[in-house]
Amino acid sequence: MTTQPLVPIVSPNLNEIISARLKDYIVQNGLRAGDKLPTEEKLSQSLGVSRTAVREALRSMEALGLVEARQGYGRVVRDFNFQAILNNLSYGLVFQSQDILQITDIRKALDGYYIEAAMHNLTTADMAELSGRVDSMQKRVDAGLDITEDDYQFHRRLYERSGNALALQLFEIAWAVRLNAYDRDVALREAPPGTAHEHATILAAIIQRDVETARRLLLAHHWNTEQRFRQRIAEEARRERKEGNGNGAKEPI
């Protein structure tokens, strides 16, 4: 196979452009996970930029999980996954209430779509696991304890059986964003009334192989979380208007 060349760069925005050229190079040459990239020196010569600029771009790609450095070998292409995005997204959206609601919408869409495949693939052992999680949730709620782990494992098992590894990773992102939201200590770690019962009714529909009911209950299950975030958005808006008034701005009528 003929290797496609790298095109020299003439631009002040080196980091982004070097990264873009390297991504193109990986794709155009059909590189796969574990394949070695050219050395910093060769990349510098091919692109017509300094080794320092190449090194910074490669570090940026490492942070995104696109390449990795192997001691004594050099940099290689990595298998792509959402872990790096998850780590940054779950932090970045902590301060963006509207974005958190959009993530919740995506999660609802995933729940609604993949529940049928999950139900089809659930084993007897899976059913026992889900049932155990529901029982544990109720006991912990009765004792005034946190149910976050049981809640997480219940839904994760459904995504594990969806047959789509990417859907599982997207669930992990949505969960991390929600869990790392600034009001997590109140909105997420204190179980809203009926949470354990909601999981019990979802499980009952799953056991009955009633896809439509399970889908409807899963979507309704997000209502408490959505309401709490909407309340926080409204509180933020009121606070911002009040602070604006303190600076001489007029509160909208």
| pLDDT tens digits along 51-75 | 999 999 999 898 888 899 998 899 9
pLDDT of residue 230: 79
Is the model more confident about 200 or about 242? 200
Confidence of residue 91 (pLDDT cuts 50, 70, 90): low
pLDDT of 253 > 50? The answer is no
Last residue of a domain, one of 48, 77, 106: 77
pLDDT of residue 184: 46
Contact 69, 75 (CB under 8 A): yes
Residues 177 and 141 in one domain: yes
Residues 48 and 97 in one domain: no
Instruction: Give the range of the structural domain holding residue 21, as residue numbers without chain letter.
Output: 14-77
Question: Is 30 among the domain residues?
Answer: yes
Q: End-to-end alpha-carbon separation of the chain, Å?
A: 68
**Percent of the chain clearing pLDDT 90 (strictly above):** 51
- Tally of domains within the chain: 2
Question: Is 182 among the domain residues?
Answer: yes
Last residue of a domain, one of 25, 60, 77: 77
pLDDT of residue 54: 94
Residues 102 and 216 in one domain: yes
pLDDT of residue 231: 78
| Domain harbouring 64, CATH code | 1.10.10.10
pLDDT in tens, 185-229: 454 445 566 789 999 999 999 999 999 999 999 999 988 778 777
